[in-house]
A and B are shown apart, each in its own frame.
Chain A
């Protein structure tokens, strides 16, 4: 028996109200490890390409990794794998909280949820007991009220995933909440739960997790904790991106927002901070509880806001009033919406409004000028409930642009239906690769090129070598996402693949090398590429909006510099080739054979 793992998944069929355990063959675990890797294998085997994301046949998976539930730093992450309502293809969305440890303590490596409940329902899992409970009384309620109910009526210290009205209303950027303020935000996983009539999932486990070499694990923890003594919070990123000219401002039409400094940056967030928080099993402690002391949002208390929220619901909307961003953050969390996409959607709507493409008549009286934070607060509620103008915004920028016409798709800042995170690729060209080729759509967490282009002085405005840089960064992240540890603390600890192999080995008893893990990452990236190709994607979908490729930013270090289509395509093709795919991004037969995709066992449920 492998240590660390539980060796089985819990399959729950909501239509039949049945459940059973599904063993995972050791061969699959050693090849796919867990988290993203295992998710790729399960997606390939279990989700047919003809299935619509909101069909009962779509599979909603909550996965853990071998390190989950142990003391390995940052291992309190869980991963949702499903077909994306935003893109129609592969979706992986990470969050933290109590879910992963509780799933493991309950005796599973993950949950696989299929079917659709007849009426609003919930799943309550305590060790080997699974209950299907009515959730009609919670339908329409926010995530906070739902989770409060669960903690009061089931267990105060359980893992709990829940959706708000946005998920119920099938919005393609609805998130799945966990531990109140933690969100699997991107790609619309909340809408998949909503489509299954599943309001919440609560898990409590009382069992334990073995570890092959406990003393070895202790030693690694002490060694690496020493590298993380200073508190680092994501709002620190804001002054960095502002200086680099990549802070999205006015719907990505500018790269700097001068009013951000001193108003919505890390110093201001620290002023508002009343307490530090950490994820389960992490010594990084990067979360902050903040509270508004005065003004119209007085006494509002949230966990956050993080950088992405400050940038997209702040700078991108030209809002420099921190309490308003916190209010928007609170609303998104409670209503169950991704703050990144919500900021992208409203930014796009504001630009259309200021250009006259949308009028006050269209918006139902909302004055959607940049900076009007009261309109943002109002609009977020309308979006989540699909009311009035909110119903239009609830479609996401890609669909909004398609419906509006007027060439608005040129500044609809998205890729594969997923709105951009808060780094303008024009101020660091490596990001064009990550945003375009990341399987779930525009994403900053599969690789973070600013780490190289901004922080170590590599030239951000050249194309040479960027594909290899991105591939290397993606490999590191893929290893962390399969072991399922947080890439924030993982990056802070400056761990190499060899270091991660040590964590993996002390917990599981395997004997992996860093190169084995790097090879694993290649297998997984190729597997996910195959998934999206099977879903009907091709290189034409790995495209960025015209504003990003053919226009320059007016300010900052990137002022006047245009990436240009040729440069972009060159970087993208280089990336495909260095993965062992052909120039159109299709994995070659040679590599498919090399990775043994056609000779491995098939997972069935």
Chain B
């Protein structure tokens, strides 16, 4: 345990948005995708969709940017690496939203930063992804290190564009590459 990550095989995303519905239903108690922690971007004309969700970066730029120390690293109840938000300390300054190169953070109605917390180690979006796009799987130490390295490189690349792109556009721009940071075999069905 400890090397479990939420992987995205974006070529398998069909655009059903079940992940957004599942996420918001468990986090907010209602179906409210505008508050989902996972976001699907769609281009219907070109025929693709891709989810974006927090990668739980080892060197999280949101954490570095937060002026009040509201964002911190921790573990889920099940021991998975997690970047979390202390809602008490959050002052809705928006620095984290600006800092995330992948557009994975947002604010909720109470103007507090919200992000994926892996549902404590049993992510609901994965349960309701019936197309095998989202999986929550244990990586080997080596694969985990490679993923961390890949995220770092991609974050660096993405930060160069950061002033030009709002979070939505960052999701469009980098969700494809972000889905490739961990190599997952194509027939991986995760826990299903």
Chain A interface residues (CB < 8 Å from chain B): 69-71, 97, 101, 105, 144, 147-148, 156-157, 179-181, 205-211, 214, 221, 225, 274-283, 285, 287, 289, 301, 303
Check A283/B31 contact, CB under 8 A, given A71-B25, A157-B41, A277-B15: no
Q: How far apart are B55's CB and chain A's nearest CB, in angstroms?
A: 21
Q: Does B28 contact A (CB under 8 A)?
A: yes
Q: How many A-B residue pairs have CB under 8 A?
A: 91
A285 near B31: Cβ-Cβ < 8 Å: no
Partner of B45, one of A144, A157, A214, A275: A144
Q: How far apart are B134's CB and chain A's nearest CB, in angstroms?
A: 13
Check A278/B42 contact, CB under 8 A, given A105-B34, A207-B32: no
State which residues 118-174 of B face A: CB under 8 Å.
128, 130-131, 168, 172
- Taken together as a complex, chains A and B put the C-alpha atoms of A208 and B23 apart, in Å, by 13
- Taken together as a complex, chains A and B put the C-alpha atoms of A99 and B172 apart, in Å, by 21
A301 near B47: Cβ-Cβ < 8 Å: yes
Check A180/B45 contact, CB under 8 A, given A156-B168, A280-B17, A281-B18: yes
B131 near A276: Cβ-Cβ < 8 Å: yes
Partner of A214, one of B25, B34, B41, B172: B25
- Taken together as a complex, chains A and B put the C-alpha atoms of A277 and B21 apart, in Å, by 17
A157 near B42: Cβ-Cβ < 8 Å: yes
Extra pairs beyond A148-B45, A277-B47, A283-B131 (9, CB < 8 Å): A101-B17, A156-B172, A207-B32, A208-B31, A209-B30, A278-B14, A282-B16, A285-B16, A287-B14
A211 near B48: Cβ-Cβ < 8 Å: no
* Residues of chain A within 8 A of B31, CB atoms compared: 69-71, 208-209, 211
* Residues of B in contact with A, size category: 20 to 34
* Residues of chain A within 8 A of B17, CB atoms compared: 101, 280-281
In the complex, the chain A residue whose C-beta lies closest to that of B40 is A157
* Residues of chain B within 8 A of A280, CB atoms compared: 15-17
Q: How far apart are A27's CB and chain B's nearest CB, in angstroms?
A: 25
State which residues 18-50 of B face A: CB under 8 Å.
18, 21-22, 24-25, 28-35, 41-42, 44-49
- A-B contact list, 17 entries, CB within 8 Å: A69-B31, A71-B21, A71-B22, A144-B45, A156-B172, A179-B44, A208-B24, A209-B31, A211-B31, A221-B128, A274-B47, A277-B15, A277-B47, A278-B131, A283-B18, A301-B47, A303-B47
State which residues 75-95 of B face A: CB under 8 Å.
none
A211 near B30: Cβ-Cβ < 8 Å: yes
* Residues of chain A within 8 A of B21, CB atoms compared: 70-71, 281
Q: Does B11 contact A (CB under 8 A)?
A: yes
* Residues of chain B within 8 A of A210, CB atoms compared: 30
B44 near A180: Cβ-Cβ < 8 Å: yes
- Taken together as a complex, chains A and B put the C-alpha atoms of A221 and B28 apart, in Å, by 19
In the complex, the chain B residue whose C-beta lies closest to that of A283 is B130
- Taken together as a complex, chains A and B put the C-alpha atoms of A278 and B133 apart, in Å, by 13
In the complex, the chain A residue whose C-beta lies closest to that of B21 is A71
In the complex, the chain B residue whose C-beta lies closest to that of A3 is B30
In the complex, the chain A residue whose C-beta lies closest to that of B129 is A283
Q: How far apart are B77's CB and chain A's nearest CB, in angstroms?
A: 20
* Residues of chain B within 8 A of A281, CB atoms compared: 16-18, 21
A211 near B25: Cβ-Cβ < 8 Å: yes
In the complex, the chain B residue whose C-beta lies closest to that of A229 is B130
- Taken together as a complex, chains A and B put the C-alpha atoms of A214 and B22 apart, in Å, by 10
- Taken together as a complex, chains A and B put the C-alpha atoms of A119 and B108 apart, in Å, by 39
B18 near A71: Cβ-Cβ < 8 Å: yes
- Taken together as a complex, chains A and B put the C-alpha atoms of A219 and B32 apart, in Å, by 20
Q: How far apart are B132's CB and chain A's nearest CB, in angstroms?
A: 11
B34 near A225: Cβ-Cβ < 8 Å: no
B32 near A278: Cβ-Cβ < 8 Å: no
- Taken together as a complex, chains A and B put the C-alpha atoms of A301 and B25 apart, in Å, by 35
B130 near A225: Cβ-Cβ < 8 Å: yes
In the complex, the chain B residue whose C-beta lies closest to that of A71 is B21
Q: How far apart are A492's CB and chain B's nearest CB, in angstroms?
A: 13
- Taken together as a complex, chains A and B put the C-alpha atoms of A101 and B36 apart, in Å, by 14
In the complex, the chain A residue whose C-beta lies closest to that of B34 is A206
B29 near A278: Cβ-Cβ < 8 Å: no
* Residues of chain A within 8 A of B28, CB atoms compared: 208
Proximity bits, B60-86, A CB within 8 Å = 1, else 0: 000000000000000000000000000
* Residues of chain B within 8 A of A181, CB atoms compared: 44
- Taken together as a complex, chains A and B put the C-alpha atoms of A293 and B133 apart, in Å, by 26
Partner of A209, one of B11, B18, B32, B130: B32
In the complex, the chain B residue whose C-beta lies closest to that of A160 is B44
- Taken together as a complex, chains A and B put the C-alpha atoms of A218 and B44 apart, in Å, by 28
- Taken together as a complex, chains A and B put the C-alpha atoms of A279 and B14 apart, in Å, by 8
* Residues of chain A within 8 A of B168, CB atoms compared: 156
- Taken together as a complex, chains A and B put the C-alpha atoms of A274 and B41 apart, in Å, by 19
Q: How far apart are A599's CB and chain B's nearest CB, in angstroms?
A: 35
* Residues of chain A within 8 A of B25, CB atoms compared: 71, 211, 214
Q: How far apart are B41's CB and chain A's nearest CB, in angstroms?
A: 7
Q: How far apart are B68's CB and chain A's nearest CB, in angstroms?
A: 26
Check A276/B14 contact, CB under 8 A, given A105-B34, A156-B168, A214-B29: yes
- Taken together as a complex, chains A and B put the C-alpha atoms of A144 and B11 apart, in Å, by 23
- Taken together as a complex, chains A and B put the C-alpha atoms of A70 and B22 apart, in Å, by 9
- Taken together as a complex, chains A and B put the C-alpha atoms of A287 and B16 apart, in Å, by 11
* Residues of chain A within 8 A of B30, CB atoms compared: 208-211
* Residues of chain A within 8 A of B29, CB atoms compared: 214
Partner of B32, one of A105, A277, A287: A105
* Residues of chain B within 8 A of A211, CB atoms compared: 25, 30-31
* Residues of chain B within 8 A of A276, CB atoms compared: 12, 14, 131
B128 near A71: Cβ-Cβ < 8 Å: yes
Q: How far apart are B8's CB and chain A's nearest CB, in angstroms?
A: 15
Nearest 9 Cβ contacts at the A-B interface = A208-B32, A289-B47, A278-B14, A208-B30, A283-B130, A278-B16, A206-B34, A180-B44, A209-B31
In the complex, the chain A residue whose C-beta lies closest to that of B42 is A157
- Taken together as a complex, chains A and B put the C-alpha atoms of A209 and B24 apart, in Å, by 10
- Taken together as a complex, chains A and B put the C-alpha atoms of A536 and B87 apart, in Å, by 64
Q: How far apart are B45's CB and chain A's nearest CB, in angstroms?
A: 5
Check A285/B46 contact, CB under 8 A, given A105-B34, A277-B14, A280-B17: no
- Taken together as a complex, chains A and B put the C-alpha atoms of A289 and B17 apart, in Å, by 17
- Taken together as a complex, chains A and B put the C-alpha atoms of A181 and B48 apart, in Å, by 13
* Residues of chain B within 8 A of A225, CB atoms compared: 130
A275 near B131: Cβ-Cβ < 8 Å: no
* Residues of chain A within 8 A of B46, CB atoms compared: 301
